[in-house]
Structure 1
Amino acid sequence: MAESQDTRKEGAVTEGHAQALALMHRCATADGFLASPTEHANYHRVWARDGAVLGLAALASGDEALIASLRATLATLARYQGPHGEIPSNVEPTTERVSFGGTAGRVDANLWFVIACGEYWAATGDDAFIEAMLPTLERIRFLLGAWEFNNRGLLYVPQTGDWADEYIQSGYVLYDQLLYLQALRTLCRIHGHVHGSTDHALLERAGRLYHLIRANYWFIDGDSAGEDAYHPVLYQRGKEAAACREGGHRYWMPFFSPTGYGFRFDAFANVLASLLRVAYDDQRAAVDAFIAELAPRGMELLPAFHPVISPDDSAWQELQTNFSFEFRNHPHEYHNGGLWPLITGFYVADLAGRDEAAARHHLAALDRANALPMGGEPWSFPEYIHGTRLTAGGTRHQGWSAAAAVIGHCALAGAPILRLTGSSDDG
């Protein structure tokens, strides 16, 4: 089973950690984790993406009740799997209302589901669970292969197709490719355990994806992607344009599509590139230095994307027409430069093994952010923090903001956050 809480006493003594665990318990139901116990919009539902993040925190904490809620989350989502293999974005079990996304489906719901299944199994040794889940996982595997469209190794993600559902990026989005890599690694490990043999086709696919990510999303002066360039002309144009923009060659590019590359800094993708052992040490150092310039003093959280899109920006018209219910991406809010406890928690986990002082610095800021008041109540666990006013924003009592703190505290106490990652030398 997962490690007991006794092994994590260092992380369990702070108020931030205790408050975060308490909110996670409020999110836990018999059907699985709610995105928030707050009755707002559709947050009071079992979500794939949020449930997986809460599940990683549950496993790191060693809390048996929370781990049971992760298992229930995965069982609920699997029960409502779609006819082509798609995992719901969210489910309301009482009314059996199921959403696979808004104007487009959510690619990352499937990826986080596979990752969470593997991490639950690796932490608990629950072979009965993973064997029962095999048909569900195989349907997801087939669907993901179809979503490559051209069978060339990268998922094609539509606008609004992942967590940044009101932002403007689509095509071969790095965040999703990294989760896809981790999902393939997870499927390889599960297959090897259940069948006692290696799925060589799956292993080759994971290795190919690893090399595609490294070759196509990080531009190096005087170097080229060679035979791993997804589209040589597109790659060369993107590389030349990146050299003229803020950040230049200092971080991973967020996406490319048939019309070209995007160049804004995607914090979640850059954190995952390191955490999932795709980045090399020199790339980590470059990204760390870039993040240090972005994080506001006193509230050292990572923005979702940078730079902010303002009304005089050419992308503003597209951004302000992309929303589900009401426009939320005002400058320095939500995805448009808002500061996210979620992303910062994963960054703390990444830093924990290589720069403890920096990890503790960002974790302290994360706890301060979670403690901010909303509606006169402290410890609001906001969805995001305004990028300049440093005030709480979005939905309060956000489960994954709490999970981010638990992930950070547990990582600094030595708990593994991901058990099935590969090495930095292969997929």
Structure 2
Amino acid sequence: MNIIDEAYRQSIDVVKRCMHGIGAKASALSEGYNQVYARDSIITFLGASLVENDEIKASFRITLDTLSTYQSKLGMIPLFVDVENPRIEANQGAVDSNPWYVIGHGVYYKRYKDIEFLKSSLESIKQAMLWLEYQDSNNCGLLEVQEAADWGDLYANRGNILYDNVLYYKALLEYSALLELCGENGEDSLARAEDVKTKLNLLLWLGDVEEKTRIINEKGYSQEWLRVIRMSSELYWFGKFYMPYVAFRDFGYHCDALGNSLAILFGIADDAQAGKIIDHFTQTGMNKPYPIMANYPPILPGDKDWREYYRNGHLNLQYQYHNGGIWPFIGGFYVAALKKAGREAFALEELENLAKANRTGKRFEWEFNEWLNGRSGMPSGMAYQAWSAGMYIYAYRSVMDDAAESDFL
């Protein structure tokens, strides 16, 4: 058996080992990640639910039930639910839980066509979307997110963050479809999704400043956006990737692999933009030694986005963790984005490299580690990660299945 197929078999085994009575744990190991994380579990099931398996199907549904059970009274989906002590608790880094939860319901319906479960969950989904709407604190149409408040929970993205707003766009699309399935009108949500898409391309993709100025003035958008657009364009006169965030008179200059890959997969980026993003990934070596570094270039002491908390436990130093570390789950989105962008041969090459990343272990082969050093490729973090395995399945099926069947989202 070749390494690509062996990695697929091993991925399914790891996912099954992460199944628990209240849902999919983040890791098969009991120490470290003995919780059902909202983002981790839904990302895991994007791929795992493509495997015809009753245990996986049941775990997907149980996971969604658990997340709704511990939803706050205001509609917030928890960052995680501990399997030993399940309860509602204060969560830092959970803004992306809500859009992933809504996307998860959309994926669950697409896979299993369980309309009764969808209808029984609709009120929870509505509350989750209402909570997201409240995160638009200045009524600009995009989410405003505080620092380190999503999956990058030790990273200084803030304000209108690419990753969270790309998810918001997809959640609005899914919500529209789910409402229609339940006999309700989804047109407003669909229109809001298109508005988010337009504004992401206006604000976070560098382009013609004069044209952007005209649009902002014509539409009555925030004049503060013009300040940032002009500031960023003075440094970078053309777009190669979506900026990771725009905040008050500030912006990020590093390339966020997850946000940009999702922008390709969800259709926010057009064909030309997708090509530029992928070229940037490869020309900078973000995909080496394995796919792919979470952010590049790493933030260094003295940079405006450096934070002293990056030194905690030496975790977020350059080429580690969020700060240039390689994350195999992001690699799965990246490989799928290559396929969607028409880079089929390259996607197959990178799928093999992703298999190698998951095979690399600290003690044993096929550890599916959380992240790897962005320079040495040495594995770090917790082993037997559900989303590392689940997203390999997703990438594998994206590349190996026929094109007509590969749009799993």
Q: Is 2:178 aligned against 1:187?
A: no
The amino acid that maps onto 1:274 is I
The amino acid that maps onto 1:84 is L
Greater shift, 287-296 or 68-77, is seen at 287-296
Deviations 1:368-410 (Å, cap 9, x if unpaired)?
0111121x21112111110111111111111111112111111
The amino acid that maps onto 2:346 is A
Partner of 2:121: 133
**Partner of residue 74 from structure 1, selected from 64, 67, 73:** 64
Preserved contact between residue 209 and residue 230 of structure 2 (Cα < 8 Å): no
Deviations 1:180-238 (Å, cap 9, x if unpaired)?
0111111100111111x533322221221121112111111465321368534533543
State how 1:383-394 maps to structure 2 within 5 Å.
383-394=370-381
Q: Is 2:139 aligned against 1:151?
A: yes
Preserved contact between residue 102 and residue 125 of structure 2 (Cα < 8 Å): yes
CA distance in 2, matches of 1:13, 1:339: 19
Preserved contact between residue 328 and residue 354 of structure 2 (Cα < 8 Å): yes
TM-score w.r.t. the length of structure 1 is 0.88
Deviation at 1:66, TM superposition (A): 1.3
State how 1:50-61 maps to structure 2 within 5 Å.
50-61=40-51
Residue 142 to residue 90, structure 1, CA distance change in 2 (3 Å): same
The amino acid that maps onto 1:183 is A
State how 1:8-19 maps to structure 2 within 5 Å.
14-19=5-10
Partner of 1:358: 346
Deviations 1:48-68 (Å, cap 9, x if unpaired)?
000101111122223332122
Q: Is 2:276 aligned against 1:307?
A: no
Q: Is 2:222 aligned against 1:231?
A: yes
The amino acid that maps onto 1:271 is S
Partner of 1:49: 39
Residue 233 to residue 156, structure 1, CA distance change in 2 (3 Å): closer
Greater shift, 406-415 or 130-139, is seen at 406-415
The amino acid that maps onto 2:355 is D
The amino acid that maps onto 2:42 is A
State how 1:259-270 maps to structure 2 within 5 Å.
259-270=249-260
Q: Is 2:319 aligned against 1:332?
A: yes
The amino acid that maps onto 1:201 is D
The amino acid that maps onto 1:156 is E
CA distance in 2, matches of 1:141, 1:234: 25
Preserved contact between residue 304 and residue 337 of structure 1 (Cα < 8 Å): yes
Deviations 1:333-352 (Å, cap 9, x if unpaired)?
00000011111101111222
Deviation at 1:417, TM superposition (A): 6.4
Preserved contact between residue 153 and residue 209 of structure 1 (Cα < 8 Å): yes
Residue 198 of structure 1 aligns to a residue whose secondary structure is: coil
Instruction: Flag structure 1 segments of 5+ consecutive residues without an equivalent.
Output: 1-9, 421-427
Greater shift, 234-243 or 300-309, is seen at 234-243
Partner of 2:107: 119
Residue 73 to residue 131, structure 1, CA distance change in 2 (3 Å): same
Partner of 1:20: 11
CA distance in 2, matches of 1:258, 1:148: 14
Deviation at 1:152, TM superposition (A): 2.4
Preserved contact between residue 290 and residue 377 of structure 2 (Cα < 8 Å): no
Residue 99 to residue 56, structure 1, CA distance change in 2 (3 Å): farther
Residue 237 to residue 153, structure 1, CA distance change in 2 (3 Å): closer
Residue 91 of structure 1 aligns to a residue whose secondary structure is: strand
Preserved contact between residue 338 and residue 347 of structure 2 (Cα < 8 Å): yes
Q: Is 2:26 aligned against 1:35?
A: yes
Preserved contact between residue 87 and residue 100 of structure 1 (Cα < 8 Å): no
CA distance in 2, matches of 1:240, 1:20: 45
Preserved contact between residue 108 and residue 163 of structure 1 (Cα < 8 Å): yes
Deviation at 1:240, TM superposition (A): 4.2
Instruction: Flag structure 2 segments of 5+ consecutive residues without an equivalent.
Output: none
Residue 303 of structure 1 aligns to a residue whose secondary structure is: coil
Residue 50 of structure 2 aligns to a residue whose secondary structure is: helix
CA distance in 1, matches of 2:57, 2:122: 20
TM-score w.r.t. the length of structure 2 is 0.92
Preserved contact between residue 407 and residue 417 of structure 1 (Cα < 8 Å): no
**Partner of residue 252 from structure 1, selected from 242, 261, 269:** 242
The amino acid that maps onto 1:175 is Y
Partner of 2:266: 276
Residue 241 of structure 2 aligns to a residue whose secondary structure is: coil
CA distance in 2, matches of 1:95, 1:67: 24
Preserved contact between residue 310 and residue 317 of structure 2 (Cα < 8 Å): no
Deviation at 1:296, TM superposition (A): 6.2
Q: Is 2:284 aligned against 1:294?
A: yes
Residue 78 to residue 186, structure 1, CA distance change in 2 (3 Å): same
Partner of 2:152: 164
Deviations 1:239-288 (Å, cap 9, x if unpaired)?
4434525x952111111111321111111111011100011111011111
